[in-house]
Amino acid sequence: MSQLPFLPFSKPVIDEATIAAVGEVLRSGWITSGPKVQAFEAQLSAYFGGRPVRTFNSGTCTMEIALRIAGIGPGDEVITTPISWVATANVILEVGATPVFADIDPLTRNIDLERLEAAITPRTRAVIPVYLAGLPVDMDRLYAIARRHNLRIIEDAAQALGSSWNGQRIGAGGDFVSFSFQANKNVTCSEGGCLVLNTAEEVRLAEKYRLQGVTRSGFDGLDVDVLGGKFNMTDVAAAIGLGQFAHIEALTAHRRELARHYFKCFGDDFEATYGAQLPPADFSSSNWHLFQLVLPERADGLPARATFMEQMQARGIGIGYHYPPIHLLSLYRARGWQEGMLPVAERVGRLIVSLPMFTSMTKDDVERAVAAVKAVLRDA
């Protein structure tokens, strides 16, 4: 149908300087964890106000390691949101704890903090909030709840690099903060992640969990006293991260401009006219990792999202969806979760879509995407 080039949902952009830097690493003979990893960690630490940071090969193991450092395990409960990538809940199972889901706020689509507090029991040890699309939860309320109930917080800030709360960067404060550098993130290493920590002892444990529990001493001393894994970042990945991270402020500003243009193109009457829900218009806190709509249900009962995605693709526009409700996946149904338990998350998870949003997008691309959305919804 479309004669224009296909507009993907997401597209990583790696500049020539970064490509050259990767080539230098490959020629250096040191391609696993080394000086580039150390340089990347130093830059991240400076960005987060001097807090200690360690990098890893994913933004999933970062959360698992934070749980292990916090001593979370069998018999413990960890509260999280059902609208996230399944890794957020899987890491709770990995350490032997029990995931507990609290429903989401219908406007922000993040965990509802009132429902979170209501879900706390004597077994609750930690909370993993998720900053969907880069929008933080109310950090003041979150940490007030944590203090009242003596809980650890592992912030799943996978999508929130460059986001802030009341002028403070996400990661510059709080407890454990986990970021992802996966391929579609605002800053990518192709794959990777980092964990912002609090104390020297937590850093020591993170380093051991990162590489088989190993502690080295002298020329040939080696001991293992905890069960670690193989989670280290390579210098190849770190070189990509350094090249990307150099542009973090410009990348974030550009995404905010794209988001503003989305709102301008949709117009003030979009929700009333088309029945779809726009995201919160937050241009100070969110890094606009994603621009998401919640679609209206179709009057004919057909699957609204699948039909919408198919028709958008026919118009040359790629669409993603983030995410199906975790508690309705088979792994979690087998643990007692079922339809009707988290109604807001179930509705949003059934109808949410992510529109194109990436670094090299232009305002013309936004206009194409919005025109296609309106055409598809008008014809539904």
Positions marked active-site: 185
Tokens at 184, concatenated:
């579609």
Distance of CA 18 to the CA centre of its chain: 23
Q: Tokens 């960890």 correspond to what residue?
A: 78
